[in-house]
Amino acid sequence: MKIAVVGATGLVGTKMLEILEERNFPVTELIPVASSKSVGKVIGFKGKQFVVTSPEEALNQRPHIALFSAGASTSKEWAPRFAESGTTVIDNSSAWRMDKNIPLVVPEVNASVLTKENKIIANPNCSTIQMVVALSPIYIRYGIKRLVISTYQSVTGTGAKAVAQLMSERNSQHVTEKAYPYPIDLNVIPQIDVFVEDGYTKEEMKMINETRKILGDEKIAITATTVRIPVTGGHSESVNVETFMPFEIDDIRSLYNNTPGTILKDNPKELSYPMPIDAHNNDIVWVGRIRRDFSQPNSFNIWIVSDNLRKGAATNAVQIAEYLINQRIV
């Protein structure tokens, strides 16, 4: 099983390598790939050293699966070439997510859509992944009419430059290269990605469009506000959910006793609720603060937290690859 990791030296690529090793993924040959400035570097994996190579050289080695996390432009250029050569590409960028011919997959929710014909598979946006894992059992049981989403997202979602900016500001050091137009430490920035014409950001539109595609329901009414906050542990989301069917709050809570990948942490009397510090460096989608919205029929609020580099990116991609192997699709 030849596995290429394209973008192997970046934040998510590094995490992909870590998770492949951690989950004992059946890698017989690893092909780490990065841009020209990183070609020739040596990285460690399972106690061995591997030399970072170029996309062209990796393509010639014909990997079975290529995990891409090197940005949309790289994916647009190279994913079709890998796919044409027979490699199954799992792409973490935004390049293919809304292509109607490309499946957008969260394994716990819709892995069943995958077939051998799918040579490019899109990994959803980090904030979308954790939300649909938490909301999928609600959708199945009660139907979802409307979602009002507010996110509180880690700087790790932007990348290493953003983490460096936060830490430099926190330590009162000069910021040599800014990821954000404003300070992020002791601040909140109500903008993730660029603005589109209607005043929403691309991140907000990703959550709206990707959620509908993954759940297979274009009729869900969704609005979102995405916000960057000065944390590194993971993304947090406040979601107001309106269902078609009536429910009991205790029944909503009980769903998470049997939902793969989720843990309920919801005991206000003991001040128990999910926080980024809980999610850091694990693959759990934490849910809590579940309470009825008395202002609207069939509505409730839920708080969702997960590590955006792991379940929100790298782990989800590796889980897709595991599904492909287990189902003999690759």
- State whether 176 and 282 are in the same domain: yes
| Phi, psi angle pair for 236, to nearest 5° | -120, 150
Predicted local distance difference test score (pLDDT) of residue 258: 87
Check if 235 is active-site: yes
Reading the block at residue 271, the tokens are 């001040």
Write out the DSSP string of 106-159.
-HHHHGGG--TT--EEEPPPHHHHHHHHHHHHHHHHH-EEEEEEEEEE-GGGT-
- State whether 115 and 165 are in the same domain: no
Report whether pLDDT(74) > 90. Answer: yes
**Strand partners of residue 221:** 146
- State whether 102 and 52 are in the same domain: yes
- State whether 175 and 247 are in the same domain: yes
- State whether 154 and 293 are in the same domain: yes
Report whether pLDDT(324) > 90. Answer: yes
Reading the block at residue 139, the tokens are 């959708």
- State whether 296 and 318 are in the same domain: no
Task: Write out pLDDT tens, residues 217-273.
Answer: 999 999 999 999 999 999 999 999 999 999 999 999 999 988 999 999 999 999 999
Report whether pLDDT(41) > 90. Answer: yes
| Phi, psi angle pair for 26, to nearest 5° | -75, 65
- State whether 223 and 106 are in the same domain: no
- State whether 99 and 199 are in the same domain: no
Reading the block at residue 163, the tokens are 């983490």
Least Cα distance to 137 among 261, 283, 296 occurs for: 261
The reported pTM is: 0.96
Which residue among 64, 174, 235, 280 is the active-site one?
235
- State whether 156 and 293 are in the same domain: yes
Domain count, the chain: 2
- State whether 287 and 140 are in the same domain: yes
Reading the block at residue 52, the tokens are 């970072």
- State whether 289 and 200 are in the same domain: yes
Q: How far is Cα 149 from Cα 190, in angstroms, rounded to an integer? A: 13
Check if 280 is active-site: no
- State whether 155 and 26 are in the same domain: no
Binning pLDDT at 50, 70 and 90, where does residue 304 land?
Answer: very high
Range(s) of the domain holding residue 55:
2-124+313-326
Q: What percentage of the chain has pLDDT greater than the value 70?
A: 100
CATH classification of the domain holding 114:
3.40.50.720
Report whether pLDDT(185) > 90. Answer: yes
CATH classification of the domain holding 238:
3.30.360.10
Distance of CA 53 to the CA centre of its chain: 26
